[in-house]
Amino acid sequence: MNTIKKIFILFLFSISIQSCFSLLNSDQKDNYKKFIQWYWMYIVGKDMYNYRYEYCAKSFFTTDYASCEGADTITRGSCIDSSLEKSTRKYYKFTSSIEGNVTFSLHNLPFPSCCGWVYATPKCVFAYKENLRVDTDSSASYIEEGQNEKSCETSATVSTSENSFRCVSILSACTGDYLFRVADGGRSERDTISGSYDSTLPTWSSENGIYTEIEGKVLPLIGDEQYTLISIGFPFTFFGRTYNDLYITASGFVSFEDQGLTSKRNSKIKFSDYLFLDDSSSPVQMIAPWLSRLKVDCSSDVQYITTTENNKNVFIVQWKNVYAYYGGSYISDHNTGDLRLNFQIKLVEGTNEIQFIYGNTSGTKTGSSTLASIGIKHFGGSRGYMDGTTGSSSGKHYYDPTTEFPTSGTIYKFTP
């Protein structure tokens, strides 16, 4: 349907509905207005998924007075599982004893919303300038630079000074739950990448060992589909290219490139398929010990550390107690079952060896499974995929977490 026809349909619909507009109740009038706005977005081709957040962010009603004075105190490592009523604002007071970046990450738990015909509970996070006492009457100039008061952002990264505080607020358009994590911020810019792609697959092997939990830095990942850029601590070569940093995701994999991470995920593609796909919208240069639909909540986290083992520097990423999704659609956050998983990646300096190490699981699942894939990938498809449990580079292999999650202490190695 071309644009002229779309506009003509909107015009006819508007004329027909205006004649009985006065007979509609307030909710029907609101829905009519939303429909007109949404259809206009359809005409101009704007992304509906993003527009719903922008629309809701600008649809707040007058909130009751609230202040950062006397608000709950949060620090690095804080994680909050709470809820807010429609059109309310919650303040937190962040205190820092050290210098460095910090990220405030927010995850909206889906629920039938007040913002039209979509399942979402838009809540926005705002970080304010250091050492300013803020309330609902404060000027927008109090908001730290780099944030837009007219948009609905779910994360904010700011720098902190020693022995400082800053106010942080969560603004809610709709009644619903949220998860809120405070952690050290990742890198904002990439380091230099060198070398040329080499599609030669490494040697695969497996052995039994001991899963040793790390106590590293907690990443600002909360909910699902989030990622952050982190420094490895040494140069690491993967399929011919040498990197000093990588992207760590909440979805059970890391990637040395941002392809497929920055764009909205195609909801028709399972996460586990990304290991096998060969297209511009799928991640590449990826290491995936358990690539699946996972969620990080306040009972779990993703950590990393650069340490020394056997006189070699080793970079470790750990997914601790992450929640596996079951028996629900994409928009259902509270799926049945409470199965949680533990696993790690190790990258070894010099040898460029990759290790997958698996820990214990806890809880059970009910309903259908969310399957996972395990392996490494270069360009994708048959050009650079290796299954993590067999070393095969052909066919597609999916794993059920209840029956096929590797036993605790299992180690898969990829040695160039």
Instruction: Give me the DSSP letters along 75-139.
Output: -TT-EEEEEE-TTEEEEEEEEESS-EEEEEEEEEPP-B-SSSSSB---EEEEEBPTT---BTTS-
Q: Give which of 96, 81, 123, 104 is closest to 323, Cα–Cα.
A: 81
Indicate the pTM of the whole model. Answer: 0.82
Candidates 3.90.1300.10, 2.40.110.10, 3.50.50.60, 2.60.120.380; CATH matching 72-184: 2.60.120.380
- What phi and psi, each to the nearest 5 degrees, are found at residue 40? -65, -40
- The whole-number pLDDT of residue 177 equals 87
Low-confidence ranges of the chain (pLDDT < 70): 1-63, 109-122, 149-150, 262-271, 278-281, 326-337, 366-369, 380-383
Strand partners, 49: none
What DSSP letter does each residue of 311-344 carry, written as one string? TEEEEEEEEEEEEEPBSS-TT-SS-S---EEEEE
- The whole-number pLDDT of residue 13 equals 53
Q: Can you point out the beta strands (E) in 239-300?
A: 241-249, 254-255, 286-291, 294-295
Distances (CA, A) of 131 to 69, 164, 391: 11, 6, 55
- The whole-number pLDDT of residue 308 equals 96
CA within 13 Å, CB half, 177: 13
What single-letter amino acid sits at 404? E
Helix 26-44 vs helix 3-18: crossing angle, to nearest 10: 170
Question: Chain-centre distance of CA 209, in angstroms?
Answer: 31
What 3-state class would DSSP assign to 267? coil
- What phi and psi, each to the nearest 5 degrees, are found at residue 74? -125, 155
- The whole-number pLDDT of residue 394 equals 82
